[in-house]
Amino acid sequence: MTSSNIFDLTGKVAAVIGGASGIGEAVTIGAVGMGATVVCLDVKADAARAAAEKAGGHATSGVVDITDAASVDEALGAIVRQHGKLDIVIATPSINVRKKMLDYLPGEIDRVLNVNIIGNFNVLRSAGRIMVEQRRGSIVLFSSIRSLVVEPGQAVYSATKAGILQLARGGACEFGPYGVRVNCVGPGVVETPLTAPIKANAAWYDAYAAKNTFNRWADPSEMVGPTLFLASDAASYVNGTIIYADGGWLAQDGRFTPPGM
Protein backbone atom coordinates (compact mmCIF):
# COMPACT_ATOMS: atom_id res chain seq x y z
CA MET A 1 0.00 0.00 0.00
CA THR A 2 1.34 3.41 -0.99
CA SER A 3 0.13 6.92 -0.25
CA SER A 4 -1.02 7.34 -3.86
CA ASN A 5 -3.60 4.55 -3.80
CA ILE A 6 -4.84 4.06 -0.25
CA PHE A 7 -8.21 5.68 -1.03
CA ASP A 8 -8.67 3.79 -4.30
CA LEU A 9 -11.43 1.17 -4.31
CA THR A 10 -10.51 -0.41 -7.63
CA GLY A 11 -10.96 -4.17 -7.37
CA LYS A 12 -13.11 -3.91 -4.25
CA VAL A 13 -16.61 -5.41 -4.16
CA ALA A 14 -19.04 -3.34 -2.08
CA ALA A 15 -22.64 -3.67 -0.98
CA VAL A 16 -24.43 -0.42 -0.17
CA ILE A 17 -27.60 -1.19 1.77
CA GLY A 18 -30.20 1.55 1.61
CA GLY A 19 -28.50 2.67 -1.57
CA ALA A 20 -31.61 3.77 -3.42
CA SER A 21 -31.91 7.27 -1.97
CA GLY A 22 -30.35 9.94 0.23
CA ILE A 23 -26.97 9.16 1.73
CA GLY A 24 -27.03 5.61 0.41
CA GLU A 25 -27.48 6.75 -3.18
CA ALA A 26 -24.68 9.30 -2.80
CA VAL A 27 -22.37 6.62 -1.38
CA THR A 28 -23.26 4.23 -4.20
CA ILE A 29 -22.31 6.86 -6.78
CA GLY A 30 -19.17 7.81 -4.86
CA ALA A 31 -17.95 4.23 -4.47
CA VAL A 32 -18.37 3.58 -8.19
CA GLY A 33 -16.44 6.77 -8.89
CA MET A 34 -13.57 5.46 -6.74
CA GLY A 35 -13.41 2.25 -8.76
CA ALA A 36 -15.48 -0.21 -6.72
CA THR A 37 -17.85 -2.82 -8.06
CA VAL A 38 -21.03 -1.86 -6.19
CA VAL A 39 -24.27 -3.69 -5.55
CA CYS A 40 -26.94 -1.19 -4.55
CA LEU A 41 -29.34 -2.96 -2.19
CA ASP A 42 -32.65 -1.60 -1.00
CA VAL A 43 -36.11 -2.74 0.01
CA LYS A 44 -37.39 -0.86 -3.05
CA ALA A 45 -36.29 -2.77 -6.14
CA ASP A 46 -37.12 -0.13 -8.75
CA ALA A 47 -35.41 2.65 -6.80
CA ALA A 48 -32.31 0.50 -6.27
CA ARG A 49 -32.15 -0.24 -9.98
CA ALA A 50 -32.48 3.45 -10.82
CA ALA A 51 -29.71 4.38 -8.38
CA ALA A 52 -27.39 1.75 -9.86
CA GLU A 53 -28.09 3.02 -13.37
CA LYS A 54 -27.39 6.56 -12.21
CA ALA A 55 -24.09 5.45 -10.67
CA GLY A 56 -23.06 3.70 -13.87
CA GLY A 57 -19.74 1.88 -14.01
CA HIS A 58 -19.70 -1.49 -12.25
CA ALA A 59 -22.97 -0.94 -10.38
CA THR A 60 -25.84 -3.39 -10.17
CA SER A 61 -28.80 -3.63 -7.84
CA GLY A 62 -30.70 -6.05 -5.66
CA VAL A 63 -33.42 -6.25 -3.04
CA VAL A 64 -32.97 -6.69 0.69
CA ASP A 65 -35.12 -6.26 3.79
CA ILE A 66 -32.74 -5.75 6.69
CA THR A 67 -35.42 -6.71 9.22
CA ASP A 68 -35.41 -10.22 7.71
CA ALA A 69 -32.19 -12.05 8.56
CA ALA A 70 -32.69 -14.57 5.76
CA SER A 71 -33.10 -11.75 3.24
CA VAL A 72 -29.82 -10.18 4.34
CA ASP A 73 -28.00 -13.52 4.22
CA GLU A 74 -29.30 -14.20 0.72
CA ALA A 75 -28.50 -10.73 -0.64
CA LEU A 76 -24.92 -10.70 0.65
CA GLY A 77 -24.40 -14.37 -0.15
CA ALA A 78 -25.47 -13.74 -3.75
CA ILE A 79 -22.75 -11.09 -4.08
CA VAL A 80 -20.12 -13.56 -2.89
CA ARG A 81 -21.40 -16.23 -5.26
CA GLN A 82 -21.21 -13.81 -8.18
CA HIS A 83 -17.98 -11.98 -7.39
CA GLY A 84 -16.12 -14.45 -5.20
CA LYS A 85 -15.74 -12.02 -2.30
CA LEU A 86 -17.27 -9.12 -0.38
CA ASP A 87 -14.83 -6.41 0.66
CA ILE A 88 -17.13 -3.65 1.88
CA VAL A 89 -20.61 -3.48 3.39
CA ILE A 90 -22.18 -0.09 4.09
CA ALA A 91 -25.60 0.08 5.77
CA THR A 92 -27.49 3.37 5.92
CA PRO A 93 -31.15 2.51 6.74
CA SER A 94 -32.91 3.84 9.83
CA ILE A 95 -36.40 5.06 10.62
CA ASN A 96 -37.70 7.52 13.17
CA VAL A 97 -41.05 7.89 14.88
CA ARG A 98 -40.60 11.40 16.20
CA LYS A 99 -42.75 11.53 19.33
CA LYS A 100 -42.36 12.20 23.02
CA MET A 101 -42.11 8.98 24.97
CA LEU A 102 -45.48 9.50 26.66
CA ASP A 103 -47.15 9.78 23.25
CA TYR A 104 -45.75 6.57 21.75
CA LEU A 105 -48.45 4.16 20.61
CA PRO A 106 -48.27 0.37 20.96
CA GLY A 107 -46.08 -1.05 18.23
CA GLU A 108 -44.29 2.17 17.33
CA ILE A 109 -41.21 1.47 19.41
CA ASP A 110 -41.12 -2.02 17.88
CA ARG A 111 -41.00 -0.51 14.38
CA VAL A 112 -38.02 1.67 15.21
CA LEU A 113 -36.12 -1.05 17.06
CA ASN A 114 -36.85 -3.58 14.32
CA VAL A 115 -35.18 -1.50 11.62
CA ASN A 116 -32.53 0.40 13.52
CA ILE A 117 -31.30 -2.26 15.95
CA ILE A 118 -32.39 -5.66 14.67
CA GLY A 119 -31.90 -4.64 11.04
CA ASN A 120 -28.40 -3.32 11.57
CA PHE A 121 -27.57 -6.35 13.71
CA ASN A 122 -28.67 -8.61 10.86
CA VAL A 123 -26.38 -6.75 8.46
CA LEU A 124 -23.45 -6.82 10.88
CA ARG A 125 -23.83 -10.54 11.60
CA SER A 126 -24.28 -11.57 7.98
CA ALA A 127 -21.40 -9.44 6.70
CA GLY A 128 -19.27 -10.54 9.65
CA ARG A 129 -19.74 -14.21 8.88
CA ILE A 130 -18.58 -13.71 5.31
CA MET A 131 -15.66 -11.43 6.14
CA VAL A 132 -14.38 -13.43 9.11
CA GLU A 133 -14.19 -16.48 6.86
CA GLN A 134 -12.31 -14.58 4.15
CA ARG A 135 -10.24 -12.80 6.85
CA ARG A 136 -10.66 -9.29 5.51
CA GLY A 137 -13.31 -6.63 4.99
CA SER A 138 -14.76 -3.35 6.18
CA ILE A 139 -18.27 -2.77 7.54
CA VAL A 140 -19.63 0.76 7.95
CA LEU A 141 -22.85 1.38 9.87
CA PHE A 142 -24.66 4.68 10.27
CA SER A 143 -25.09 6.14 13.73
CA SER A 144 -25.77 9.85 14.32
CA ILE A 145 -25.05 12.83 16.53
CA ARG A 146 -28.12 11.49 18.36
CA SER A 147 -25.91 8.76 19.78
CA LEU A 148 -24.63 11.49 22.13
CA VAL A 149 -27.25 14.24 22.29
CA VAL A 150 -31.02 14.17 22.35
CA GLU A 151 -34.05 16.45 22.20
CA PRO A 152 -37.77 16.03 22.92
CA GLY A 153 -39.30 13.47 20.59
CA GLN A 154 -35.98 11.76 19.83
CA ALA A 155 -35.48 9.46 22.81
CA VAL A 156 -36.16 6.19 21.01
CA TYR A 157 -34.31 7.15 17.84
CA SER A 158 -31.34 8.39 19.89
CA ALA A 159 -31.26 5.17 21.89
CA THR A 160 -31.08 3.15 18.69
CA LYS A 161 -28.31 5.32 17.25
CA ALA A 162 -26.27 4.79 20.40
CA GLY A 163 -27.08 1.11 20.08
CA ILE A 164 -25.83 0.98 16.48
CA LEU A 165 -22.52 2.47 17.62
CA GLN A 166 -22.20 -0.15 20.34
CA LEU A 167 -23.02 -2.91 17.87
CA ALA A 168 -20.22 -1.62 15.66
CA ARG A 169 -17.81 -1.57 18.59
CA GLY A 170 -18.82 -5.10 19.52
CA GLY A 171 -18.29 -6.22 15.94
CA ALA A 172 -14.88 -4.56 15.90
CA CYS A 173 -13.87 -6.47 19.04
CA GLU A 174 -15.09 -9.81 17.72
CA PHE A 175 -14.12 -9.54 14.06
CA GLY A 176 -10.91 -7.51 14.38
CA PRO A 177 -8.69 -10.53 15.07
CA TYR A 178 -9.73 -11.84 11.65
CA GLY A 179 -8.76 -8.68 9.78
CA VAL A 180 -12.29 -7.25 9.64
CA ARG A 181 -12.99 -3.64 10.59
CA VAL A 182 -16.31 -2.20 11.79
CA ASN A 183 -16.90 1.53 12.15
CA CYS A 184 -19.65 4.13 12.10
CA VAL A 185 -20.41 7.44 10.46
CA GLY A 186 -22.33 9.90 12.63
CA PRO A 187 -24.07 12.51 10.47
CA GLY A 188 -25.56 15.72 11.74
CA VAL A 189 -28.47 17.20 9.83
CA VAL A 190 -28.55 16.00 6.22
CA GLU A 191 -31.14 16.77 3.56
CA THR A 192 -32.64 13.33 2.90
CA PRO A 193 -36.15 11.88 2.52
CA LEU A 194 -36.07 11.10 6.27
CA THR A 195 -35.66 14.79 7.14
CA ALA A 196 -38.05 16.19 4.52
CA PRO A 197 -40.75 17.03 7.13
CA ILE A 198 -38.24 19.28 8.91
CA LYS A 199 -37.30 21.08 5.72
CA ALA A 200 -40.97 21.82 5.17
CA ASN A 201 -41.01 23.82 8.43
CA ALA A 202 -38.82 26.88 7.89
CA ALA A 203 -38.35 27.73 11.59
CA TRP A 204 -37.41 24.15 12.45
CA TYR A 205 -35.08 23.86 9.46
CA ASP A 206 -33.33 27.15 10.26
CA ALA A 207 -32.93 26.25 13.95
CA TYR A 208 -31.09 23.06 13.04
CA ALA A 209 -28.91 24.91 10.55
CA ALA A 210 -27.97 27.44 13.25
CA LYS A 211 -26.91 24.67 15.65
CA ASN A 212 -23.80 23.76 13.67
CA THR A 213 -20.77 25.92 12.94
CA PHE A 214 -21.48 26.18 9.22
CA ASN A 215 -25.07 27.40 9.73
CA ARG A 216 -26.36 25.04 7.08
CA TRP A 217 -27.51 21.50 6.47
CA ALA A 218 -25.32 18.90 4.80
CA ASP A 219 -25.88 17.55 1.33
CA PRO A 220 -25.87 13.74 1.14
CA SER A 221 -22.73 13.93 -1.01
CA GLU A 222 -20.85 15.29 2.00
CA MET A 223 -21.24 11.94 3.76
CA VAL A 224 -19.45 10.12 0.94
CA GLY A 225 -15.91 11.07 1.97
CA PRO A 226 -16.13 9.95 5.62
CA THR A 227 -17.92 6.75 4.62
CA LEU A 228 -15.52 5.70 1.89
CA PHE A 229 -12.51 6.65 4.00
CA LEU A 230 -13.65 4.09 6.57
CA ALA A 231 -14.31 1.58 3.81
CA SER A 232 -10.93 2.06 2.16
CA ASP A 233 -7.41 0.91 2.95
CA ALA A 234 -6.68 4.46 4.10
CA ALA A 235 -8.46 3.43 7.33
CA SER A 236 -6.62 0.12 7.67
CA TYR A 237 -5.88 0.74 11.38
CA VAL A 238 -9.23 2.35 12.21
CA ASN A 239 -11.59 0.00 14.02
CA GLY A 240 -14.48 0.30 16.45
CA THR A 241 -14.89 4.05 16.21
CA ILE A 242 -17.14 6.74 14.75
CA ILE A 243 -16.53 9.74 12.53
CA TYR A 244 -18.99 12.54 13.28
CA ALA A 245 -19.70 14.42 10.05
CA ASP A 246 -21.85 17.02 11.74
CA GLY A 247 -20.58 20.44 10.67
CA GLY A 248 -19.38 21.06 14.21
CA TRP A 249 -22.78 20.46 15.86
CA LEU A 250 -21.26 18.54 18.77
CA ALA A 251 -18.40 21.02 19.17
CA GLN A 252 -20.65 24.02 19.67
CA ASP A 253 -22.06 24.60 23.16
CA GLY A 254 -25.29 26.53 22.88
CA ARG A 255 -26.50 29.05 20.30
CA PHE A 256 -25.70 32.34 22.02
CA THR A 257 -22.60 34.27 21.00
CA PRO A 258 -21.42 36.47 23.91
CA PRO A 259 -21.20 40.23 23.25
CA GLY A 260 -17.98 41.34 21.65
CA MET A 261 -17.17 37.95 20.19
Sign of CA dihedral 66, 122, 173, 88: negative
pLDDT tens, residue order, the chain (261 aa): 555 689 999 999 999 999 999 999 999 999 999 999 999 999 999 999 999 999 999 999 999 999 999 999 999 999 999 999 999 999 999 999 999 999 999 899 999 999 999 999 999 999 999 999 999 999 999 999 999 999 999 999 999 999 999 999 999 999 999 999 999 999 999 998 878 888 899 999 999 999 999 999 999 999 999 999 999 999 999 999 999 999 999 998 766 666 765
- Crossing angle of helices 155-175/120-134, nearest 10°? 10
The two beta strands, 13-17 and 37-42, are parallel
Q: What is the pLDDT of residue 257?
A: 65
Backbone dihedral angles phi then psi of residue 41, each to the nearest 5 degrees: -110, 135
Query: Which value, in Å, is the radius of gyration of the alpha carbons in the chain?
Result: 18
Helix ranges restricted to H, the chain: 22-33, 45-55, 69-83, 108-113, 120-134, 155-175, 196-199, 202-211, 224-231
- Domains of the chain in start order, with CATH, are 13-245 (3.40.50.720)
Integer CA distances (angstroms), 88 to 53, 131, 136, 229, in order: 20, 9, 9, 11
Could you tell me which of 18, 16, 29, 22 has the C-alpha nearest to residue 195? 22
- Count the neighbouring beta carbons within 10 Å of the beta carbon of residue 14: 29
Q: Using CB atoms within 10 Å of the CB of residue 1, give its burial: 0 to 12 exposed, 13 to 18 middle, 19+ buried.
A: exposed
AA identity, residue 187:
P
Instruction: Count the residues in the chain.
Output: 261
By annotation, the residues acting in catalysis are 157
Integer CA distances (angstroms), 145 to 8, 32, 150, 152, 247, in order: 28, 27, 8, 15, 11
